[in-house]
Amino acid sequence: MRAMKSIVLIAHGSRLQSSNDEAKQLVVNLAKKLDSKYPIVEIAFLELTRPSIAEAIESCLQQGAKEVCLMPYFLCAGNHVMRDIPSEVKPLQKKYPHILFQITAHVGSSELMMGVLCQLTEQQILASLA
């Protein structure tokens, strides 16, 4: 039997509730697409709202996760990606040494982003000409 895997998508968090709701909906859609490989998909916010990273990880563990993949939903590798997120995860790694934690590269570092940006640019230009 394979270990149950989970994903925690980590967004910044906003004072604007509609922005937080948008991130939550993104995770709902992601969960539908990844259900067979990652049966547990949660959202976490670094600041300004909840659930926190710790709360999202605890939720994954309560649902039976043995592996937690943390994906920073950030475009650039600033302080939040390089320092803040790892420092939030470190105490949980110590608390749960039997759980495999992995922090992925931030979303903006993916080579796929260039293709997405090019497509979006073309769509925006065509829409503005219409």
Of 12, 80, 98, 106, catalytic: 12
Overall domain count for the chain: 1
95: domain range?
Answer: 5-129
Tens digits of pLDDT across the chain (130 residues) = 567 999 999 999 999 999 999 999 999 999 999 988 999 999 999 999 999 999 999 999 999 999 999 999 999 999 999 999 999 999 999 999 999 999 999 999 999 999 999 999 999 888 888 7
pTM over 0.85: yes
Encode burial over 44-59: b for 16+ CB neighbours within 10 A, e otherwise.
bbbeebebbbeebbbb
Q: Is 12 considered catalytic here?
A: yes
Phi and psi at 118, nearest 5°, equal -65, -45
Encode burial over 84-117: b for 16+ CB neighbours within 10 A, e otherwise.
bbeebbeebeeebeebebebeebbeeeeeeeeee
Q: Tell me, what CATH number does 25's domain have?
A: 3.40.50.1400
